Structure 1
Amino acid sequence: MRNPSDWSRREFVAASLLGTGAIAGCTARGQPNDADASDTSSGCLDDWLADANGYEGAIERYGPDDDPSVTVGDGVGAGHGHDAFGPAAVRVTPGTTVTWEWSGHGDPANVVALDDAFDSGDPVSVHGHTFSHTFEKRGTYRYVSEPSRAAGMLGAAVVADPPSSDYPAVDDWLADVNIYDGTVADWRDYPSPLVTVGSAEGESEFTFSPPAARISTGTTVRWVWTGGPHQISFEDADIGSEVETEPGVRFEHTFDEAGVYRYACAPHHSLGAKGAIVVETGDPSE
């Protein structure tokens, strides 16, 4: 049986992407998904976002209770000025209202969906100007700023149900964690599994890999740092670590009581650095 310390974020993200390929408007082979009625433009979402200024490979995920905001005229460094949406891509749940807010920098801009689902009107450049749209239907919505489309001012909103497992408390806690796809790693027959803290692989360096795992009572879980300042703090129990920066196993805890234990990296909580441990009693083979 495989040792859970071999779990890599690259493997977890690959599995997650395969599970959500249809949501992104592509199959696992990167071809368009004809079943996605809202995705009216051709090609794969990855190809679309590859031309988007400011896109660095991560689709920012928001949970059902979040209020996503996208900056219009975001600065992305030399060569692009402020011809960008920040973040370039978001993933939200049905019924979520996304608000675009103008930075006041760069050329006049607007927000126009390719499928005419929303349109902010004429381009403006007023600092603090806002436009909102509520996404009721699932699908992938690509949009542009018309004056700067050719310059790479592109964006996307993916509307999909949040990941679901057999543990609602875990799903609610991890709803905005990019690499969580509803998978809860089964570690019930391992005495001392490892969770990777701050790996640079995958969509974000501020995630735990895996984000959720189930263990048996009496199991000692170890958290291994890959570098950078991280601090583990539990929401449901008086358990936690100090801020640590050096690579290696920097924290471990033995879970003697059954329950759902939610935790986060205190410095990076707002960036989606959250995880969960489900502790169960009984025979792991059941």
Structure 2
Amino acid sequence: MAVSDVSRRQVLQTAAAVGVVGAAGCGGGDGGDGSDGGGGSGDASVPPEDYPSIDEWLTETAIGGADDTYAGSLTDHRDNASLTVDVGAEGNDGNFAYAPSAVVVSTGTEVRWNWTGEGNPHNVEALPEEQLGESDYEFSSGEAVGGSGVKYTRTLEESGVALYHCEPHLSLGMKGGIAVE
């Protein structure tokens, strides 16, 4: 009987220790310091309801195809001074995607679109009249070009939404959306 008492005691002590360690790992940020605990590192996600125009742009097919890389939420990059978006990332039945395709950034964030050299040629166009009329930004990298090492940079200074696409691959769903807070 003493042996089973010791075993039971050891099991209970071990279970209690595991519970304390597990609870310590779940604390996260509570927002007391002004953060939500997400850190804006790109690991947290923002629900699509917060930015319905981006969700609609990436899923609708009235203008181009739907982006099959869009997972239904936006990646949080608000604490980053810059963001790199791959142009020609895998998706939409080839290398016809932007990665990430849906993000939230802070005002003043420098966005760099970097061509991967795959699925060429590409460009980046934010033209409100071509994108549901809901893009607050208008810009273009110019004519579609191919090759790796091509870059286009834009600093997003105002709060709003930038809906953009690749002109040659719009019909395949090569679209992106950036919410600027």
- Which TM-score bucket, shorter chain as reference? 0.5 to 0.7
The counterpart of 1:194, out of the listed 68, 84, 89, is 84
1:233 aligns with 2:125: yes
The counterpart of 2:163, out of the listed 236, 245, 262, is 262
Q: Check conservation: 1:165, 1:184, Cα contact below 8 A.
A: no
Q: Which runs of 5+ in 2 are unaligned?
A: 1-38, 60-65, 128-134
Matched to 1:196, the amino acid is: D
Q: Check conservation: 2:54, 2:177, Cα contact below 8 A.
A: yes
Q: Please give the alpha-carbon distance, in whole angstroms, between the structure 2 residues aligned to 1:264 and 1:218.
A: 21
Q: Could you state the TM-score of these two structures normalised by the residue count of structure 1?
A: 0.40
Change beyond 3 A, Cα 1:209–1:165: farther
Q: Which runs of 5+ in 1 are unaligned?
A: 8-162, 281-286
The counterpart of 1:218, out of the listed 104, 108, 121, is 108
Q: Please give the alpha-carbon distance, in whole angstroms, between the structure 2 residues aligned to 1:189 and 1:244.
A: 31
> What's the CA shift for 1:200?
3.4
What residue in structure 2 maps to residue 252 of structure 1?
A: 153
Q: Please give the alpha-carbon distance, in whole angstroms, between the structure 1 residues aligned to 2:145 and 2:57.
A: 24
Larger Rg: 2
Q: Check conservation: 1:171, 1:182, Cα contact below 8 A.
A: yes
Matches within 5 A, 1:33-48: none
Larger mean Cα displacement after TM superposition, 192-201 or 169-178: 192-201
Q: Please give the alpha-carbon distance, in whole angstroms, between the structure 2 residues aligned to 1:194 and 1:252.
A: 9
Q: Please give the alpha-carbon distance, in whole angstroms, between the structure 2 residues aligned to 1:200 and 1:278.
A: 22
1:166 aligns with 2:50: yes
Q: What SS does the corresponding residue of 1:270 show, helix, strand or coil?
A: helix
Matched to 1:232, the amino acid is: V
Matched to 2:107, the amino acid is: T
Q: Please give the alpha-carbon distance, in whole angstroms, between the structure 2 residues aligned to 1:269 and 1:202.
A: 10
What residue in structure 1 maps to residue 131 of structure 2?
A: none
> What's the CA shift for 1:245?
1.1
Q: Check conservation: 1:198, 1:226, Cα contact below 8 A.
A: yes
> What's the CA shift for 1:193?
1.1
Percent of aligned pairs with the same residue?
41
Q: Check conservation: 2:86, 2:115, Cα contact below 8 A.
A: yes
Q: Check conservation: 2:106, 2:180, Cα contact below 8 A.
A: yes
Q: Could you state the TM-score of these two structures normalised by the residue count of structure 2?
A: 0.61
Q: Please give the alpha-carbon distance, in whole angstroms, between the structure 1 residues aligned to 2:90 and 2:76.
A: 23
Matched to 1:277, the amino acid is: I
Q: Please give the alpha-carbon distance, in whole angstroms, between the structure 2 residues aligned to 1:201 and 1:177.
A: 8
Over the aligned positions, Cα root-mean-square deviation in angstroms equals: 2.4
